[in-house]
Chains A and B, each alone.
Chain A
């Protein structure tokens, strides 16, 4: 108790010292009078109020945390193979990581976003982008598993993604790097005018969530950094920040920082949709993978698609405009009413806010100051709503609490700044530890933010945690934003880089969570629905083992007649129909991962026996009192041996047909 008190005191003192213009009023009613620990404490057996889906950045994964506790519940593999869950290792999920470049077992996962209906979170799916080999993934929140990945052609560095429109009509995938279009062998210094930036609109089927690339807008060769959908009055528009409007191709640090203003591209996607629906655009050959996982077959399929519809923005007058925005804007955030578009010039000390209604007026009045590649550039003063002055150093991202306030992260000065929409005055600022990137308010990218907490995601932690060698954890920090002043409640370590996050009230998601897969409904090609159906079948040098698992045994458990040089498939079905009773299996010498099989599910791994002998397999997930007994053997004979295929079932020997 004393220790807790001491550390609370220490936190208070530290925040007093570090808060640059703290007037101390927050700490008066802060840690001492109301316990900060109590605010994040979730008692044993109780549940958190929010789910937070925090991207793993370079881990290629998505982590599920509870807020306010900061407890880690699950790491969902999305673009990375994951031995824990056999994702990308078993035969069923290998196709998920297929691309036009072949099997790519990693990516850089940046911006998760939750599906919406009428501008509010509906908790059906989380979408997330793969940055490196451009992809968009969909995670189903009934199973918390990646169920669809679509590759983005004509794109590179898929960064300004994956944000959804108000009714999840579209998920966008904007390219950070412009590249030659069509892709070809050409001198890099001929970048200007030859490179293009694709903004991709992926439609989402309202019934089953199926994704499909509806169209790509082939934009000028800038870098498209971040994006946000319009909402409310600006529903139908999408906003993308750009940098390198200089179209430089080397030493961008200098050469892409010459223009005083870059642009926010405002895209009237409804107009383009209409144009496309009326036969507009041009079908262009492209190669990209579309991978879909089915909960019925427990298997993924990968299809290579061969063409995509391209829209040239100058062919659709009135659909695309540029809003001049100082200075290399990074974050591009739209407030819950849809009126204000915040552009954070990362080289600026100010935040620039545009007004949607002024933008529409400026378009009507044709207040243009020029054009770029046929796209009108709007007059800055005609669209500018206000500026938050001298707010900090290196503004990156803004979120909103739904009560008229905005919160912006400052990377260089390591702080979160709260300011008021409309008056543009700074209300409060709190330090972060350290170098904060994104921040997240649950429902932040919707018309209805749940403005109770803000989660800041930090790149550097230095002295905040026990050292773990040269690599220390990155972290997230939770602030209470219910009062006038923000209050730091908690920091907790995260997996990979916590690049961005999406949060949602737990009760929207939890009630839909799947408990088991029904065995009787399985359409897996190699399902074994009862022990009596388990068998071993030789087909040339391929051997298929149809195996079942239940507490606490495998059927069959002893298999003979396997030969060196065979290719042995273990098709393993978990016969359990009870919540939270997975079983695992792994085979000595298998050049893959274990399988972790949910109740009612079938998974497959391949084993290449290389040495003569009798080799064990066993259950890898502690499942029951007799978990240690859950095991079996495979007898491996020399190639060409006369030992017939046979196995034991329920203690009795069975000869294969």
Chain B
């Protein structure tokens, strides 16, 4: 088998890691939590880093009127299908061996990824800004606007007494490496076709 085909197939199969490992993690550090509270985001569920972390995050957040993290969200129905279909398409394209389609696959996958991140951002924004008006504690920014508690999309951020960290986890790395391989497959395929 051609090297490019192999790379394309392996690359798209690596996405399957998303079914095993978490995609993303949000961790909240505070002085009262020497073991920080954490939540792993999988493509089909939220998971406690330590047992009851999500319950305790909800409990902490109710002081400022944030919503409870739901048991499930509609995306959890869509994501596994999207990833599954992309893996299937990737393998089919890889077997077929048209290197141009490799790039097309990568672009589609990237767009899906961006859409996913945008969805994540919207969800975080709503979660951090759509506060219960009867909240026990109300905080305003120095400019007088209502303070939001949106966790960062990527990176670390101070929110009151918490330091929030938002970083990719193993599932995401599988996806990134897989996608990278499909780009490599494209260039290798291009080179192979010129020979």
- B47-66, CB < 8 A from A: 51-52, 55-56, 59, 63
Asked if B52 and A577 sit within 8 Å, CB to CB, the answer is: yes
A551 interface hit (Cβ, 8 Å): yes
> What is the chain A residue whose CB lies nearest that of B62?
A551
Which of these, A550, A551, A578, A626, contacts B52 with CB under 8 Å?
A578
B55 and A577 form a contact (CB under 8 A): yes
The binding surface of chain B is classed by DSSP as mixed
Decide if A625 is an interface residue (CB 8 Å cutoff). yes
Q: A578 contacts B63, CB within 8 Å?
A: no
Measured in the bound complex, the distance between the Cα atoms of B55 and A577 in whole Å is: 8
Interface size class of B (residues with CB under 8 A): under 10
Name the contact of A550 in the complex, choosing from B35, B51, B59, B63 (C-beta under 8 A): B59
B63→A577 contact, CB < 8 A: no
Is A625 a contact of B63 with CB atoms below 8 Å? yes
Question: Hey, which chain B residues are within 8 Å of A551, CB to CB?
Answer: 59
Q: Are A578 and B136 in contact (CB under 8 A)?
A: no
* Docked complex Cα distance between A640 and B111 (Å): 73
Query: Within 8 Å CB of A516, what residues of B?
Result: 52
CB-defined contacts of A577 to chain B, threshold 8 Å: 51-52, 55-56
Overall SS of chain A's interface: loop
Residue of A nearest to B51 (CB): A577
Within 8 A of B (CB), among A527-553: 550-551
**Please, which residues of chain A bring their CB within 8 A of the CB of B51?**
577
A181 vs B52: C-alpha distance in the bound complex, in angstroms? 56
**B residues in contact with A625, CB < 8 Å:** 63, 137
Identity of the chain B residue whose Cβ is nearest the Cβ of A580 in the assembled complex = B32
Q: Which of A600-656 contact B (CB under 8 A)?
A: 625-626
Query: B129-142, CB under 8 A of A: which get 1 and which 0?
Result: 00000001100000
Q: From residue 549 to 591 of chain A, which have CB atoms closer than 8 A to chain B?
A: 550-551, 576-579
A159 to chain B, nearest CB (A): 43
Q: With a CB–CB cut-off of 8 A, which chain A residues contact B55?
A: 577-578
A577 to B51, CA, bound (A): 9
Q: How far is the CA of A576 from the CA of B59 in the complex (A)?
A: 9
Q: Which residues of B contact A550 (CB under 8 A)?
A: 59
- Contact partner of A626 (CB less than 8 A), chosen from B35, B56, B59, B136, is B136
User: Taking the nearest CB of chain A, how far is it from the CB of B75, in angstroms?
Assistant: 27
Which residue on B lies nearest to A578, using beta carbons?
B56
The residue of chain B having its C-beta at the shortest distance from the C-beta of A579 within the complex is B35
Report B-chain residues with C-beta under 8 Å of the C-beta of A578. 52, 55-56, 59
Contacts of B56 in A (CB 8 A): 577-578
Which of B35, B136, B137 is the most central at the interface, judged by chain A CB atoms within 10 Å of its CB?
B136
- Closest residue to B56 on the A side, CB-wise? A578
Q: Given the complex of chains A and B, what is the CA–CA distance between A625 and B64 in angstroms? A: 12
Q: State how many angstroms separate the Cβ of A631 from the closest Cβ of chain B.
A: 15
Kindly list chain A residues whose C-beta atoms are within 8 Å of the C-beta of B35.
579
Q: Which residues of B contact A576 (CB under 8 A)?
A: 59
Q: Which of chain B's residues have a CB closer than 8 A to the CB of A626?
A: 63, 136
A549 to chain B, nearest CB (A): 12
Bound-complex Cα distance A576 to B51 (A) = 12
Complex Cα gap A295–B56 (Å): 23
In the complex, the chain A residue whose C-beta lies closest to that of B59 is: A551
A438 to chain B minimum Cβ distance, whole angstroms, is 36
**Within residues 28 to 82 of chain B, which ones have a CB less than 8 A from any CB in chain A?**
35, 51-52, 55-56, 59, 63
Bound complex: CA A551 to CA B56 (Å): 10
Name the residue on A nearest B55 (C-beta).
Answer: A577
Distance, CA A516 to CA B53, complexed state (A)? 13
**In the complex, chain B residues 81-137 whose Cβ is within 8 Å of any chain A Cβ:** 136-137
A516 vs B56: C-alpha distance when bound (angstroms): 13
Complex interface: chain A residues within 8 A of B59 (CB): 550-551, 576, 578
* Chain A residues packing against B (C-beta within 8 Å): 516, 550-551, 576-579, 625-626
Closest 4 CB pairs of A and B: A577-B52, A578-B56, A577-B55, A551-B59
What residues make up the interface of B, taking CB atoms closer than 8 Å to A? 35, 51-52, 55-56, 59, 63, 136-137
Extra inter-chain contacts (14) besides given A551-B59, A578-B59, A625-B63, CB under 8 Å: A516-B52, A550-B59, A576-B59, A577-B51, A577-B52, A577-B55, A577-B56, A578-B52, A578-B55, A578-B56, A579-B35, A625-B137, A626-B63, A626-B136
Mind listing 17 A-B residue pairs with CB under 8 Å? A516-B52, A550-B59, A551-B59, A576-B59, A577-B51, A577-B52, A577-B55, A577-B56, A578-B52, A578-B55, A578-B56, A578-B59, A579-B35, A625-B63, A625-B137, A626-B63, A626-B136
